[in-house]
C-alpha cells in the first residue's frame, strides 16, 4: 500500500441524496452510493483498496456538520477544471474562486458545495 499523507477523508452532509447528486454532476459520475455499517454513504470511485489513491466518503453523521471554515480538501475533477466549475451553480453550489493557476501543479478552483462545505477542485487540464 502506498504511504499517503492522507489516508481517508469524510465530507459532512445534511442531505446525502442532494450531496450525491451534486458530486455526481460536477465530478463526471465518479461517485457511487454505498453503505458502512447501517449507514448510507457516498464513495469516490478511486482505487483506494489497492493503495493507489486516497479514499473518502460523504457522510451524514450527528457529530459532523458542513462548514466553510478550516482546511480545504481538493478533489480531482476527472476532466477539465472549467467544465467542473461550470456545473457547480446548476448543481446547487457556489463558485468562490473560479480559477487559480498552480503552474506545474495544474489548476484549481474553490467552491461551496450543496451542503455548505468549502471544497477545492484540482485538475491538470484547464
Q: What is the pTM of this model?
A: 0.88
Query: Could you give the 3-state DSSP secondary structure of residue 25?
Result: helix
The cell numbers describing 48, all together, are 483506494
Q: What is the mean pLDDT of each run of 10 residues along the chain (126 residues)?
A: 75 98 96 93 87 88 91 93 98 97 95 97 95
Query: In CATH, which of 3.10.180.10, 1.10.1280.10, 3.20.20.370, 1.10.10.10 is domain 8-123?
Result: 3.10.180.10
SS (H, E, C) 73-96: EEEECCCCHHHHHHHHCCCCCEEE
Query: Could you give the 3-state DSSP secondary structure of residue 114?
Result: coil
Distance, CA of 109 to CA of 101 (rounded, Å): 9
| 22 contacts: CB under 8 Å, gap ≥ 6 | 91, 92, 93, 113, 114, 115
Domain boundaries, the chain: 8-123
Output the pLDDT for position 106. 94
Output the pLDDT for position 53. 84
| 43 strand-pairing partners | 32, 57
Amino acid at each position: 500500500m502506498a504511504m499517503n499523507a492522507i489516508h481517508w477523508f469524510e465530507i459532512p452532509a445534511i442531505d446525502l441524496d442532494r450531496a450525491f447528486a451534486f458530486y455526481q454532476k460536477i465530478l463526471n459520475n465518479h461517485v457511487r452510493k454505498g453503505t458502512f455499517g447501517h449507514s448510507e454513504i457516498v464513495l469516490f470511485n478511486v482505487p483506494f483498496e489497492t493503495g493507489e489513491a486516497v479514499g473518502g466518503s460523504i457522510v451524514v453523521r450527528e457529530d459532523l456538520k458542513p462548514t466553510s471554515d478550516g482546511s480545504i480538501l481538493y478533489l480531482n475533477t476527472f476532466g477539465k477544471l472549467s467544465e467542473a466549475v461550470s456545473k457547480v451553480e446548476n448543481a446547487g453550489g457556489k463558485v468562490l474562486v473560479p480559477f487559480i493557476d498552480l503552474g506545474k501543479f495544474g489548476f484549481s478552483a474553490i467552491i461551496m458545495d450543496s451542503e455548505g462545505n468549502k471544497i477545492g477542485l484540482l485538475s491538470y487540464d484547464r
